[in-house]
Amino acid sequence: MTAPKARRVEPSVEVPISLTVNGEAVEAMVPARQLLADFLREELRLTGTHVGCEQGICGACTINLDGEPVRSCIMLAAQVDGSAITTVEGLSSEGLSPLQQAFKDNHGLQCGFCTPGFLMTLSTIDPEEYPGEEGIREAISGNLCRCTGYGGILQAVRTAWDRPQDG
Amino acid sequence: MKPPPFAYCRPHSLDEALEFLAEHGDEARPLAGGQSLVPMLNHRLARPTVLVDIGAIGDLQRMDRNESGWRIGATVTQRRVERESTEGCDLLRLAMPFIGHRQIRARGTVGGSIAHADPAAELPAVALTLDATMVAAGLDGQREIPAAEFFAGPYMNSLEEGEILSHVTFPTVPPTTRCSFREFARRKGDFAVAGVAATVDFEDGSVTAASLTAFAVGSNPVRLTGAEAAVAGRHLDEAALIDSAEAAAAEIEPWDDIHGSPQYRRQLVAALLRRALQEVAP
């Protein structure tokens, strides 16, 4: 398969992008220097994606990009041309998703700042391919929570996915 | 904590990317997964005025096995290497889970990590241990650089201005070669305080070849030639383990930082190497 030869596009401080965000087509002209997290929050007003450390450490800005969890604070909006993104707003069309409800019921959050990042990381895991409790701990090791001690978060996952402790 | 202004382009061919780099000289930087470069932009530790995004160049996203090994395009993500089989290259597979977190590996690339040459990074250590070959592409053609000559200091590589690291070939090893990858970090996903990579061949229980590397202890990953000599031709019994660990601790010149003193890093390397050799021993 040979892609049609693209015309040379010179470096520019404004970049056109088209992508899908939470199932809806989005077209925008973005500043080259704009971080993806800031594009989502400031242009699309999807403020559920939180900006914490802005250096790829805390995980609060995690989104689902083409099926993988990624940190939107260390990506440029210009880099996501042609991609499909889900943010925490896209997890459920009405009310809370089962995992969100389980977070609420099991003290999976206190202040809630980190919660969208946890939810988005966990949303990229298929509950049918449950990686075990160790696998869940591994998966969420890239998200920092300073309130819960993680116990409530693990309990929320077990509850939502109907898994026994250490199962 | 926002990047300074720059111009951005996303060419679809390597030649076009090289042209942009040539036109803009040292003002331009190639951008792969951005997991090191974008934080550096956020911190304004890097201030390129042109970013050449190499993420849309098809040839750099390919991952093929040929007669000499796995030829991995520069923008193949670490997550993809982790998920897909790299048969005959176990060390590569073993090292992947130590790189940052899954969110980082989803974007972070093989070529990006190697070109970035972070002293604490895993992929440069794997490349050095396996004697990987780096392919540097330039407008005048491509050249091959052995791993032993590629790393030129902390965060420095031996690419010439205008060159892009386009592929890395990791040699495959026979199924009888045993591999181990170990590192110590304070928390899961943190940068290593010290790490060790090992591939060892045996015949009748004796070591016939050993490639041992330490990383996060100096400017670049370093082959532990003293420790390699200490195990050559020997069964990996207690005496051999002690000799090799002592040789490793003596031959490295660890730096001193907030994460560990040189003495602590010597002890870590000795302990990690001992465990690695115990793991691979038949």
pLDDT tens, position by position, A14-63: 999 999 999 999 999 999 999 999 999 999 999 999 999 999 999 999 99
Burial-class residue B212 by CB neighbours within 10 Å (0-12, 13-18, 19+): buried
Taking the C-alpha atoms of residue B36 and residue B105, their distance in angstroms, rounded to an integer, is 11
B101 contacts B74 by C-beta, under 8 angstroms? no
Q: Check whether residue B156 and residue B93 sit in a common domain.
A: yes
Give residue B276's domain range.
180-280
Averaged over B202-214, what is the pLDDT? 97
Location of each CATH 1.10.150.120 domain in chain A: 98-161
CA dist., res. A110 & res. A112, Å (int):
5
- What is the fold, at CATH topology level, of the domain defined by A98-161? DNA polymerase; domain 1 (1.10.150)
The amino acid sitting at B178 is R
Across the interface, do A70 and B24 touch by the CB < 8 Å criterion? no
The pLDDT of residue A156 is above 80:
yes
- Interchain proximity B188–A76, CB inside 8 Å: no
Q: Are B74 and B123 members of one domain? A: yes
The DSSP H or E segment spanning A152 is helix A151-161
- Are B71 and B154 found together in one domain? yes
Mutation for B interface: A8, A35, A74, most B CBs within 10 A: A74
Q: Which of B74, B51, B73 is nearest to B62 (CA)?
A: B73
Residues A93/B75, Cβ–Cβ less than 8 Å = no
Neighbours of A5 (CB within 10 A): 8
pLDDT at B51: 98
pLDDT tens digits for range B37-75: 999 999 999 999 999 999 999 999 999 999 989 999 999
Per-residue confidence at A113, pLDDT binned at 50, 70, 90? very high
Alpha-carbon gap, residue B183 to B259, rounded angstroms: 14
Is residue B136 within 8 Å of residue B145, measured between CB atoms? Answer: yes
B144 occurs within a structural domain: yes
pLDDT higher than threshold 90 for residue A6: no
pLDDT at res. A4 = 58
Residue B134, domain member (yes or no):
yes
Contact present, B40 and B2 (Cβ < 8 Å)? no
According to the model, what pLDDT value does residue A35 have?
A: 98
d(CA B148, CA A135): 36
Q: What is the model's pLDDT at position B85? A: 81
CA distances to A80, A123, B129, B187, B233 from B209, in Å: 46, 45, 12, 33, 8
Contact B11 A62 (CB under 8 A): no
Handedness of CA A82, A84, A87, A93 (dihedral sign): positive
A79 touching chain B per CB within 8 A: yes
Contact A52, A61 (CB under 8 A): yes
Same domain assignment for residues B70 and B158? yes
CB contact under 8 A, A33 and B6: yes
List CB contacts of A40: < 8 A, sequence separation 6 or more. A21, A46, A49, A63, A72, A85, A87
Contacts of B6 in chain A (CB under 8 A): 13, 32-33
Listed in order, the ranges of chain A carrying CATH 3.10.20.30 are: 14-90
Q: SS3 sequence, B103-140?
A: HHHCCCEHHHHHHHCCCCCHHHHHHHHCCCEEEEEECC
Quick check: is B116 in a domain? yes
Determine the Cα–Cα distance for residues A99 and B143; give it in Å rounded to an integer.
51
CB of A67 within 8 A of CB of A124? yes
Which residue, B151, B153, B230, B167, is CA-closest to B198? B230
User: Is the distance from CB of A73 to CB of A20 less than 8 angstroms?
Assistant: no
**End-to-end Cα, chain B, rounded Å:** 51
Q: Is A32 on the interface with B (CB under 8 A)?
A: yes
Query: Both B146 and B197 in a single domain?
Result: no
Instruction: Look at B106 and A65 and tell me if their CB atoms are within 8 Å.
Output: yes
What pLDDT is attached to residue B103? 96
- Spatial distance between the Cα atoms of B71 and B135, rounded to a whole number of angstroms: 10
Question: Residues B82-124: pLDDT tens digits?
Answer: 999 889 999 999 999 999 999 999 999 999 999 999 999 999 9
From CA B66, how far away is CA B91, in angstroms rounded?
18
Quote the tokens at residue B131.
């004697």
* B192 and B159 belong to one structural domain: no
CATH of the domain at B199: 3.30.390.50
Q: Answer yes or no: is the ipTM higher than 0.90.
A: yes
Note the Cα B214 to chain centre separation in Å: 11
> Residue B172 in 3-state DSSP?
coil
Give me the residues of A, 36-55, that contact B with CB < 8 A. 38, 54-55
**Is A2's Cβ below 8 Å from some Cβ in B?**
no
Looking at the domain A14-90, which fold is it? Ubiquitin-like (UB roll) (3.10.20)
On whether the CB atoms of residues B214 and B252 are closer than 8 A, the answer is yes
Bridge partners (DSSP) of residue A25 are: A20
DSSP state of B232: T
How many distinct structural domains can be found in chain B? 3
Regarding whether B74 and B35 lie in a shared domain, the answer is no
Q: Which residue of A has its CA nearest to B108?
A: A70
CATH code of B44's domain: 3.30.43.10
The neighbour count for residue B163, using CB atoms within 10 Å, is: 23
Task: Classify residue A42 by its DSSP letter.
Answer: I
B38 within some domain: yes
Query: Worst-scoring range by mean pLDDT, A2-11, A12-21, B170-179, B237-246?
Result: A2-11
**Calpha distance A31→A15 (Å, rounded):** 6
- Taking 3-state DSSP, the helix, strand and coil percentages for chain A, each rounded to the nearest 5, stand at 35, 20, 45
Q: Are residues B115 and B159 in the same domain?
A: yes
Answer yes or no: do B124 and B204 share one domain: no
Residue B71, domain CATH: 3.30.465.10
Local confidence band at B188 (pLDDT 50, 70, 90 cut-offs): confident
CA distances to A124, B46, B102 from A139, rounded to whole Å, are: 10, 30, 7
Find tokens 């000799």 and name the residue: B243
For B156-187, how does the pLDDT look when each residue is reduced to its tens digit (9 = 90+)? 999 999 999 999 999 999 999 999 999 999 98
CA A31 to chain centre: 22
Determine, yes or no, domain membership for B146. Answer: yes
- Average the pLDDT over B146-155 and give the result: 97
Q: What angle do CA A130, A133, A139 make, to 5 degrees?
A: 75
Nearest CA in chain B to A120: B103
